């Protein structure tokens, strides 16, 4: 009897899919010679596909960081412009010492030009130099002009900007030529061929190492299969029939909509109230918009809310 269940990956999110593939790779890396010999060149093929999926995941992660870095850059720019505006305003102070301090700081900032227009690497260098000036020779001016709070805001924005830059390779990002669907198909093909060989070895009792290898993966397979099942039978994907307008009675209105569910395996099925889902209602007494919520039950899970209208005849 086969112990190793071949998991269907297709509906798993990218992160869950990659987590499982990583687990398989760890098992392959730690596999005994008997396992390696039985699998032939399949582990090498699997590692090649794993490398491609890793590249895609890195590209997605870094692409997300690109947007975050751009937002952090905008926050830093706003803080720097705000500080400059505060300094400029005090150049017109009637107090000579305040006006002179503002003029000095203004000249220092002008020396660095439009920092926000420069490449990220130059922005980093300029901001560090500006902070060194403020914390050094210009510290008395900072105190006199009351720039401490504005400067702290700028430093916090810069710290977040630097943190994100450090997490991402600063070189330009190039989208891989291969796609997630392509890589998934390649991984699944190799994975299922390995499953057949491992199952055959376990069934023939060629070595207890086959069972050890299988048992190392079974918990993760079961967990992801359960996750896949939850996604597959989420009531959020149900298609309830529209609820017609209801007449006001002064009492709770509880219509019973027909609910249909479509899957590749079962086709279109009509769900049964009490077995597959339960209903709850909200704002279903007075005239206006009311809500009917379906709560999954049995093999169905999650919930879905539809609205209907109560009118006064």
For 108-148, write each residue's pLDDT tens digit: 998 888 887 777 778 888 999 999 999 999 999 999 999 99
Report which secondary-structure segment, H or E, holds 297. none
Closest CA to 67 of 154, 164, 162: 164
Distances (CA, A) of 133 to 79, 109, 157, 255: 17, 10, 18, 71
| The predicted structure's pLDDT at residue 132 | 93
pLDDT score for 1: 35
pTM of structure: 0.44
What three-state secondary structure class fits 178?
coil
Instruction: Write down the pLDDT at residue 217.
Output: 66
Q: Which residues of the chain have pLDDT under 70?
A: 1-13, 62-64, 168-175, 201-207, 211, 214-232, 263-267
- What are the contacts of 270-279 at 24+ separation with CB within 8 A? 271/238, 271/300, 276/300, 277/235, 277/238, 279/254
Task: Tell me which residue of 253, 307, 254, 309 sits closest to 285, measured CA to CA.
Answer: 253
pLDDT tens-place string over residues 8-46: 555 566 777 888 788 888 888 888 887 788 888 999 999
What's residue 3's pLDDT? 45
CA atoms within 13 A on the CB side of 118: 13
Q: What is the pLDDT of residue 36?
A: 81
């Amino acid at each position: 009897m086969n112990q190793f269940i071949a998991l269907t990956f297709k509906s798993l999110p990218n992160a869950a899919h990659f987590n499982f593939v990583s687990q398989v790779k760890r098992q392959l890396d730690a596999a005994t010679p008997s396992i390696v010999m039985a699998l032939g060149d399949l582990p090498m093929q699997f590692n090649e596909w794993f490398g491609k999926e890793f590249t895609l995941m890195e590209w997605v992660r870094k692409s997300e960081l690109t947007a975050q870095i751009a937002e952090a850059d905008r926050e830093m720019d706003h803080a720097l412009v705000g500080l400059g505006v505060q300094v400029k305003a005090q150049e017109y102070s009637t107090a000579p010492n305040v006006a002179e301090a503002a003029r000095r700081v203004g000249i220092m900032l002008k020396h660095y030009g439009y920092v926000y227009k420069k490449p990220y690497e130059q922005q980093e260098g300029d901001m560090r130099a500006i902070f060194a000036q403020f914390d050094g020779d210009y510290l008395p001016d900072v105190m006199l002009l009351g720039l401490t709070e504005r400067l702290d805001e700028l430093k916090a924005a810069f710290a977040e900007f630097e943190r994100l830059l450090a997490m991402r390779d600063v070189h330009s990002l190039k989208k891989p030529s291969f796609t997630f669907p392509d890589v998934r198909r390649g991984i699944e093909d190799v994975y299922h061929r390995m499953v057949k060989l491992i199952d055959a070895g376990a069934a023939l009792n060629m070595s207890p190492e086959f069972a050890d290898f299988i048992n190392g993966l079974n918990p993760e397979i079961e967990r992801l299969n359960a996750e896949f099942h939850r996604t597959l039978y989420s009531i959020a994907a149900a298609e309830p029939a529209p609820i017609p307008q209801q007449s006001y009675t002064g009492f709770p209105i509880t219509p019973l909509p027909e609910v249909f569910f479509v899957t590749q395996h079962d086709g279109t099925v009509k769900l049964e109230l009490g077995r597959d889902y339960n209903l709850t209602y909200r704002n279903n007494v007075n005239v206006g918009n009311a809500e009917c919520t379906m709560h999954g039950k049995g093999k169905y899970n999650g919930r879905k809310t539809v609205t209907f209208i109560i009118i006064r005849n």
